[in-house]
Amino acid sequence: MNSDCLFCRIVAGELPSDEVHRESGIIAFKDIHPVAETHILVVPEKHIEDLRQLQDEDAQLWLRLAQVANSVAADLGHDQGYRFFVSVGPGGGQTVPHLHIHVLAGTMRRLPA
């Protein structure tokens, strides 16, 4: 837990979020500024700054994050599919330096170039 990190604080329950799923090691909550009808962030409890810091030991965690993204989209009724993306570092548009997967579905705005 990094107490300077927004998502660590949400994971710890210090800051509120609109949670849609929680299990050991992972939470999923609604993005505060949605760019689609459904916009969920799937977040590991472990503070991993960005995808480039992912280690071999995180293999199971990464698989499970993807599975949670799938099940969140399915639970919200998006059986035709959804968009899965990860911003990697400031050059990739990442604004919160704690790894997270965006799940977008339904009517969505175009992603910024």
Least distance to ligand 5GP, CB of residue 100, Å: 6
Beta bridge partners of 40: 30, 103
Check if the beta carbon of residue 31 is closer than 8 Å to that of residue 83: no
Q: What is the total residue count of the chain?
A: 113
The residues, any chain, with a CB within 8 Å of residue 26's CB and separated by 6 or more, are 42, 43, 44, 45, 61, 64, 65, 68
What is the per-residue binding string for Zn ion in 62-101, x denoting contact by CB under 5 A? Answer: ------------------------------------x---
Single-letter residue type at 97: P
Which letter does DSSP use for residue 53 in this model? G
Q: Which two tokens stand for residue 18?
A: 């609109």
Residue nearest ligand 5GP, CB atom distance: 87
Could you confirm whether 100 is annotated as catalytic? yes
Q: Which two tokens stand for residue 9?
A: 């604080």
The footprint of ligand 5GP on residues 67-106 (CB under 6 A) is 87, 93-96
Does 110 bind ligand 5GP (CB under 6 A)? Our answer is: no
Least distance to ligand 5GP, CB of residue 99, Å: 9
Tell me which stretch binds Zn ion (CB under 5 A): 17-25, 28-36, 46-54, 105-113.
Answer: 46-54
Q: How many CB atoms lie within 10 A of CB 99?
A: 26
Residue ranges that bind ligand 5GP, judged by CB under 6 A: 6, 17, 29-33, 41, 87, 93-96
Catalytic site residues?
Answer: 100
